[in-house]
Amino acid sequence: MYPRWKAVVLAVLLVSSTLGFARKVESHASPLLQGAYRFEQGGWIYVHLQGPPEQIGYQHGYLLAPQIEDFYQTLKLEDEHSSKKPWAFFRDAARTVLWPHIDAEYQAELKGIAAGVKAKGISLDLWDIVAMNGNIELTKYYLPWLSKSAHAAVPAALKAPGNCSAFIATGKYTKDGKIVIAHNNWSSYAEGERWVIVFDIQPAKGNRIVMDGAPGLITSQDDFGINSAGIMITETTISQFEGWDSRGRPEFMRSRKALQYANSIDDYVRMMEDGNNGGYANDWLIGDRKTGEIAYLELGLKHTPLWRTKDGYFISSNFARDPALIKDETDGFDLNNLSSSPNARRVRWEQLMAQNKGRIDTTLAEQFLADHYDSYEKKVDADERSLCGHGDNAPNGEPIWDWKPYYPGGAVQGKVTDSDMAAKMTIVVHAGHPCGEDFLVRPFLKAHPEYNWQAPILKDMKAGPWTAFHAGERAGQ
């Protein structure tokens, strides 16, 4: 046995060594961290990042290192479970499939994130970070395409996700004739409980950005954001989409670039279409507060129709609307199946737009995102068909996304803004179900032990208050 005095001396030396290393890391990191900060409020972590790409990345990785490691563990478990592939497969695809098609600016930012995380003593590297950013594209688009291309005996059964409910309105539909935009993110509750970062990014080039997001990701990815040029964006995923082009550029990079550099709707559309790889195919709702115009870009791979207006609205809930895209690029999406979540929510959105024409503002938008009316059942029922989705209450699940009965997923947070708020670089956000209900793990897993595989990552998802954040905000403001 060690004499007690030797054990004490060893402990002191270890602590001193650790503190000394930490001071060296802090000293080394401080120039790159200049101007960056974070604070927590309303269930959200607000992070301000600024500078050239490598500095923004380093600040991101350093300030959010514990959250990035935690989100990595979440994605790794989910992806390995759903795909039956080891995480090494996604790391390799990130390196060989995605990385060569990423602009140098965003390669530098991704390298910065990896360096910032490493400086905090966390053992993730660049390919982990790139795989996290390309998570949706690799699992739901690239892998099924690869499986079909290889004529696999058992093709990958992964399906395009059905994430989110959203609308954008302007002209005679809104209270002041200006733009109102709103979105709630649908994801697994395991991811959603962690999807509570507000990013305020002030890059050396391009526009300033305020967006929601998840730790480690360079784009919002659910997606909701505004920029200093007056562009306001969100989207929902196209259900049952199939398509991939390995020569294309990653969607996560294109969406970040478009929000950072677009000064008009045309800019945004052009940047999203440039190098389109078909990954994470979405219906994009885009507004320009300077003109009051709004647009709807259905971004498939072969088909990319665009609608626009200065007097009307666009709604979105994971349905495709272009007949050619439905025919050529979906696995039989049926607009007439009103029992499916995308179509039931489409019906509900149309009802709300008609009922509230001329009255829509951010207060009503918050209420819409919290809505529990099931248009198929024609009654209030918080389930997979309500705008505020509750998959854990759905006995039939949602087959078109491969959500099994009582799947722990649904609306995990909400965001709204309008033209006047966007002019001040302000968004209002809600952590957890927009309706205000909490999701509690212990009773859920007791009732549904088939989801015990998620126990290491599934946490209580508590609903927070609607909270406003603006660019340059400080704690307590």
Could you tell me the residue ranges of all domains in the chain?
A: 34-149, 165-470
CA–chain centroid gap for 204, Å, is 24
The tens digit of pLDDT for each residue in 335-347 reads 999 999 999 999 9
Residues facing 307 on adjacent strands: 296
- Average pLDDT over every residue of 57-86: 97
The tens digit of pLDDT for each residue in 399-418 reads 999 999 999 999 999 999 99
Cα-based angle 76, 21, 2 (whole degrees, multiple of 5): 95
Q: What is the pTM of this model?
A: 0.92
Distance (Å, rounded) from C-alpha 216 to C-alpha 94?
14
Cβ neighbours for 38, distance < 8 A, ≥ 6 positions apart: 45, 46, 47, 48, 63, 64
| Torsion angle defined by CA atoms of residues 379, 385, 390 and 394, in that order, rounded to the nearest 10 degrees | 90
- Average pLDDT over every residue of 437-449: 98
b or e along 283-300 (b: 16 or more beta carbons within 10 Å of the residue's beta carbon)?
Answer: bbbbbbbeebbbbbbbbb
Report domain 165-470's class: alpha beta
The answer, yes or no, to whether residue 5 has pLDDT greater than 50, is no
The tens digit of pLDDT for each residue in 171-223 reads 999 999 999 999 999 999 999 999 999 999 999 999 999 999 999 999 999 99
pLDDT at 151 (0 to 100):
67
The tokens of 49 are what?
A: 């990042």
CATH classification for the domain delimited by 34-149, as one of 1.10.439, 1.10.8, 1.20.120, 1.10.1060: 1.10.439
